[in-house]
Amino acid sequence: MPNYSCPVDGEIEKSNAVLALISLSVFVGMIITIGGNVMVMMSFKIERRLHRPSNYFLLSLACADVIIGVFSMPIYAVYILLKCWPFSSFMCDLWSAVDFAVSEASVLNLIMISIDRVWSVSSPTSYRNNMTIKRAIMMIIPTWVCPILLYFTSIIGWPYFYPNNEPRPANQCYIQFMYESPLFMTISTICVFWIPLTSMVIMYSYIYYIIRGLTRKKRNKQQLNATARSNANPDCVGTVVTEQGAQLATIDNTSNVDSAFHSGNGKTTRYSALPLNGASTTTRCECAPQESRQAETDVDDDTSSSDKKLESKLPSSGRKKTEDEKKQSLLKKQPEHTKRQSKKKRSGGDRQSRSERKATRTLSFILGAFFLTWSPYCTVVIIKSWDNDSVPESIFNLSYWLCYINSTINPICYALANELFRNTFKKLLTCKQCPC
């Protein structure tokens, strides 16, 4: 059992600086917890576009975290600072039951968010057709009912189930089965944390696996399209002319490679165009004759040979400048669509890599935050239930408080990852939209 005892007169005054620092940290933590989660609730109220089934899980999570910030954190802070339970024994049981039930409701809402995301990523069509607000509410109800039934029955009803056990001291507050039934405490801790943590790791790993697979499919599709465009005949040029023979436009044949590729034809041979100024038009695709292409090549060869002779007479700096000018002229001669395609391909690949990196960071942050804030307490409490003296009270209090910190960072992990939530937050913080 914990060895809390009410301090004698003057004992608290000896550590005023430490108490002030702890009080300030606790107060800041409560303000951030309450403020962040209230912002989520207000955003959901004023922005109708947030009224989607998936966001109802975030609303339920915010409600649980607000209760933790308003009810659980202040009372526990008073208990730590006074080193004594100042309220009645029934108030201790009620606070413990509410604290454990709401904390577990927060964890179960995180599980529901994970299930919702797995479903939306793995089966988008089925998710759109079957995921409704009513279904989301039906999934949320057990996350509240089950913890309330479990903890209110076990914590408040424990003295009635085992009336012969030693009563709890009036100046201390702890759940009695933690020390009277270590086996029950161990099993319940595994069920309420370690199993949910394992399931979240599996689900988010599966989500990352799906996202990575989709990214690879998009990249392979882009490479296939780029290969098809590069294999198209660049010498076939379609020319739109009027009946009088006036040229209106020149169309590169490779712009229609996609339609030709999907239709099974390797080359587009005819186009259609709207008449200009009422004049009828005819369109044909004329491929440059082999002789003309050969002549162009000969001219280029002659030009290059003359350039070589000129370069031999120029100094090295002039020769280098001539080579740079040639490179620039070649780049200018490069078709614009080729430049656009290569640029689009690079930007598409960058977007895919960025989205994959963003997904990795988001999933890692969610799992890391949940693990770092809950695993210390869920490890310490099992050890403490079997051997109370093996864990110092300061370590136990710190690990208990870290569970509350999870409610502080949940809005950052989930709500702020949504762009619409972020924009609504900005409107609220800048007073551009009234929550009334």
Grouped pLDDT means (10 residues each) for the chain, 436 residues: 49 61 86 93 91 92 94 91 88 92 92 91 90 94 94 88 80 84 87 89 88 79 76 51 39 35 38 41 44 44 45 47 54 50 50 60 81 91 86 88 91 82 87 64
pTM of the model: 0.67
Closest of 60, 73, 150 to residue 107, by C-alpha: 60
Q: Give the position of tokens 């200009």.
A: 276
Closest of 366, 368, 351, 352 to residue 416, by C-alpha: 366
Alpha helix locations (H) across 83-194? 89-122, 124-130, 133-151, 157-161, 177-180, 182-189
CA atoms within 13 A on the CB side of 322: 15
**Rg of the chain over CA atoms, in angstroms?**
35
How far from 252 is each of 255, 285, 384, CA to CA, in Å? 6, 10, 77
Q: Give the position of tokens 């990523």.
A: 121
pLDDT in the model for residue 103:
92
Contact 239, 286 (CB under 8 A): yes
d(CA 16, CA 22): 10
pLDDT in the model for residue 108:
93
What is the helix, strand, coil percentage profile of the chain, to 5? 75, 5, 20
Q: Judging by DSSP bridges, how do beta strands 281-287 and 236-242 pair with one another?
A: antiparallel
pLDDT in the model for residue 13:
47
Map out the domains of the chain with their CATH numbers.
12-223+348-429 (1.20.1070.10), 235-290 (no CATH)
Cα of first residue to Cα of last residue in the chain, in angstroms, is 49
How far from 203 is each of 17, 122, 193, 195, 355, CA to CA, in Å? 46, 11, 15, 12, 19
How far from 151 is each of 166, 178, 371, CA to CA, in Å? 20, 12, 22
Contact 391, 48 (CB under 8 A): no
d(CA 232, CA 230): 6
Closest of 314, 337, 413, 388 to residue 2, by C-alpha: 388
d(CA 104, CA 112): 12
pLDDT in the model for residue 84:
87
Closest of 135, 140, 123 to residue 206, by C-alpha: 123
305 C-beta neighbours (distance < 10 Å), count: 10
State whether the Cα torsion 46-48-50-53 is positive or negative. positive
DSSP secondary structure, 179-242, as one string: HH-HHHHHHHHIIIIIHHHHHHHHHHHHHHHHHHHHHHHHHHHHHHHHHHHHHS-TTEEEEEEE
